[in-house]
Structure 1
């Protein structure tokens, strides 16, 4: 049962991180370019440089947000189980 709760918490954290990363991407894009972020960067009407820049920005922010969410989730779950994050990682790898 504890493993199920841990998985649900991890999924919820990843979803929240995705939402935050999307908002950060849109806000950063608007701040830097003065335009709304492309709704579909794969659209051939969007300039290739703009599409690549948006893909890089969104990829970096998404990866960063998910990594931070996973780290924090691991800490919270480990603390709740009275273990260190390393012990929790060893347990899930077995």
Structure 2
């Protein structure tokens, strides 16, 4: 079970990942509009949306959201280590 420090980190990292995801979605949507000149598909699963457009949106959103989550979590880990002097136990690399 996670100790209090790990639990605190997980809550903080989760909040940072949520905020990063929200910002990423806004940025990706804006970039999509600028690059395609169209609104992103609201329902890519619909047969009325072209397959290429649906796949493009899924790839861009998937990569963008995961990248935002990764960067937010890494930034949180870096700040956590600065504040506590060590990384949470689940992020330590056994050497």
Q: TM-score range by the shorter chain?
A: 0.7 to 0.9
Higher RCO (Cα < 8 Å, 6 or more apart): 2
User: What is the aligned residue count?
Assistant: 89
Structure 2 matches for 1:38-77, cutoff 5 A?
38-77=41-80
Q: Give the CA deviation at 1:93.
A: 5.9
Contact preservation (8 Å) 1:10, 1:70: yes
Residue of structure 2 equivalent to 1:31: 34
CA RMSD in angstroms comes to 1.6
1:41-66 alpha-carbon deviations (Å, 9 max, x no partner)? 11110000100111111112112111
Structure 1: gaps (5+ residues) = none
Q: Give the CA deviation at 1:5.
A: 1.5
1:23-55 alpha-carbon deviations (Å, 9 max, x no partner)? 111011101111111111111100001001111
TM-score, structure 1 as length reference = 0.85
Cα separation, 2, equivalents of 1:53 and 1:93: 33
